Amino acid sequence: MTLRLFVTGATGQVAGALTEAGPRRGLAVTAIGRPALDLETADADAVTRLIEASGADVVVSAAAYTAVDRAESEPDRAFRINRDGAAAVARAA
């Protein structure tokens, strides 16, 4: 049986490493990011539907707002992605 891994933040370093190494370790990796999954604007139900549809056995939440220098001037955006978006992924998992 192949373990199915669902990773958010498709263009990030964590997702890239899992996408590259996963198949060599017997994992079927699906990495998803914007625009299909935009944690800043997605509602929790949409996140749940997307993860459920993937049939994943394991979910890795690797999407994040990483613009540290701008986070202080864009706190609402940082919280929408890093707090609310991550919480939606966690609940869906």
46-91 per-position pLDDT tens digit? 999 999 999 999 999 999 999 988 999 999 999 999 999 999 999 9
The distance in angstroms from the start CA to the end CA of the chain is 20
Say if residue 18's pLDDT is above 90.
yes
Instruction: Give the span between the Cα atoms of 36 and 23, in whole angstroms.
Output: 22
CATH class of 3-92: alpha beta
The mean pLDDT value for 15-32 works out to: 95
Extents of the domains making up the chain: 3-92
What is the average pLDDT value for the chain, to the nearest integer? 94
Signed CA dihedral, 43, 14, 75, 35: sign only: negative
Which has the closest alpha carbon to 61: 47, 72, 74? 47
